[in-house]
Amino acid sequence: MPTPIRRFPLPARLVLPLLVLLGGVGLMAAAQAASGRVEDAASEPAASAVEALPKVIAKDELKHKAAAARAVKSPASGASAAETKAAPTMSELRNLIDQKIAEVRARQGPAPTLKLVAKGGRSRKHGAVASAASGPLSPQDGLAWQGEHWDYNGPAGPQNWGRLKPEFQSCSTGKRQSPIDIRDGIKVQLEPIQFDYHPTPFQVIDNGHTVQVNVPPGNAITVSGRRYELLQFHFHRPSEERINGRQYEMVVHLVHKDAEGRLAVVAVLMDQGKEHPMVQLVWNSLPLEKGVEQASPVMLDLNLMLPEQRQYYTYMGSLTTPPCSEGVLWMVMKQAATLSPYQASVFGRLYNNNARPIQDASGRLIKEGQ
């Protein structure tokens, strides 16, 4: 005698709750799959950046990924007790589903942020970024993370940098951010910056945010008895810093690092005027593709990047790009250099506006050299 088919193997009162539960599980799976895709897309540019970066950065990148992974996991670490409970009632099932969905959302973090990252990761190619620093400020974090999507306008623009990644938080919560409008400085006798700059080979890279020139070790400044090695210099248009409210055509930032990892940036403002011979050498070596370093066949005399007069303003600030790490010593030369309108327009074709808006000086001390 054949076994009779049981049409309703489960008590009818359990069918509806089970259907609801299955629906919830399906939703969760879809949400998790979407979250996975987003994370993969976001990690693409970072991974490609690591390939071309020095090992020290790759190591830090890993450290960051581990930290990020920990940060992502922690909100979900309190596992739901309902998971282990048997024979839940209808309302318990509803609660369970709500809890599960909340956990998935918590794991995903703020949804709009991740969407931005994913979009950027897919639509833009960011290359490796160059010279990094290391030390207590972790400025290399910023350089290593330059593969992540942030921008100078739109939803990934400066007003949202602090929300794009936990590592970028200083961009919105920092109290000593750069750039600032330099005014009301205390006039003092500042010791001259000793420039130990020499003709040097150089490589040019368009890193997706600016044109950057990387130089090998051997060029440095000494200030307050501390020696800072030049890592790289790069350009902003218009100038990020202002002097008594005035913004300049462009600015070049010469980024230095000392043995303890402290950063010192020398800013040279540039007005429209006579052609700048060193800027021309850099433009001559502009790479055809983003993220690819182009070695110049000629040497660059770094002294010619500096104005004749070396008085400067100085204050403590931050990186002007994510992660906006603070503790950066800024020295802004008072005399501006010049570049021709054509030279400015060449940069403008690549980056017409890559200047972070002015940040609140918050009563910081600014010294003005006489």
Q: 248-267: which residues touch Zn ion (CB under 5 A)?
A: 253
Which part of the chain contacts Zn ion (CB under 5 A), choosing from 110-118, 166-174, 197-205, 246-254? 246-254
Residue 149 interacts with Zn ion (CB under 5 A): yes or no: no
Residue 209 a catalytic site member? yes
Q: Are 319 and 328 in contact (CB under 8 A)?
A: yes
Closest CA to 98 of 190, 20, 161: 20
Q: Which residue, 100 or 253, is less far from Zn ion as judged by CB?
A: 253
Shortest distance, position 267 Cβ to Zn ion, whole Å: 8
* Token couple for 97: 């589903």
Whole-number minimum distance, CB 357 to Zn ion, in Å? 14
Helix 90-108 and helix 111-123, axial crossing angle in degrees, nearest 10:
50
Q: Are strands 242-243 and 181-182 parallel, antiparallel or unpaired?
A: parallel
CB 146 to Zn ion: min, Å: 12
Number of residues that bind Zn ion (CB under 5 A): 1
Distance CA 215, CA 203 (A): 7
Nearer to Zn ion, 38 or 252 (CB): 252
Rounded Cα gap, residues 365 and 367, in angstroms: 7
Which part of the chain contacts Zn ion (CB under 5 A), choosing from 141-149, 157-165, 211-219, 245-253? 245-253
With contact defined as beta carbons under 8 Å apart, do 353 and 170 qualify? no
- Cβ nearer to Zn ion, comparing 134 with 239: 239
Burial class (CB in 10 A: 0-12, 13-18, 19+), 213: buried
Choice between 38 and 330, CB closer to Zn ion: 330
Which position among 209, 234, 236, 276 bears the catalytic label? 209
Cα separation, 344 vs 359, whole angstroms: 25
Nearer to Zn ion, 96 or 250 (CB): 250
- Least spacing, CB of residue 319 vs Zn ion, in Å: 8
* Residue closer to Zn ion, measured from CB, 31 or 143: 143
Locate tokens 């890193």: which residue?
A: 207
Judge whether 352 and 237 are in contact, CB under 8 Å: yes
Q: Which residues contact 285 (CB under 8 A, 6 or more apart)?
A: 202, 203, 204, 294, 295, 296, 297
User: Which listed range, 1-9, 28-36, 247-255, 343-351, lies at the site for Zn ion (CB under 5 A)?
Assistant: 247-255
Strands 337-339 and 263-272: parallel
Residues at the site binding Zn ion, with contacts judged by CB under 5 A: 253
Catalytic residues: 209
